[in-house]
Amino acid sequence: MIDAAELIDNDFLRQFELKVEGELAKIEYALQDRKIFLTKLIIPDGIKSEDFEEEFLTLVFENIAERNISVVPTSPEIAKFIRRHRKYKKMLPVGIRI
Confidence of residue 86 (pLDDT cuts 50, 70, 90): very high
Q: At 81, phi and psi to the nearest 5?
A: -60, -45
Work out the average pLDDT over 35-62. Answer: 93
Domain range summary for the chain, segments of one domain joined by +: 8-91
- Integer Rg of the chain from CA: 13
Work out the average pLDDT over 20-33. Answer: 93
pLDDT of res. 9: 95
The domain 8-91 belongs to what CATH superfamily?
Gcn5-related N-acetyltransferase (GNAT) (3.40.630.30)
- Cα 42 to Cα 16, 18, 29, 46, 94: the distances in Å are 10, 11, 12, 12, 27
The string of pLDDT tens digits covering residues 28-48 is 999 998 999 999 999 999 888
pLDDT of res. 96: 83
pLDDT of res. 5: 67
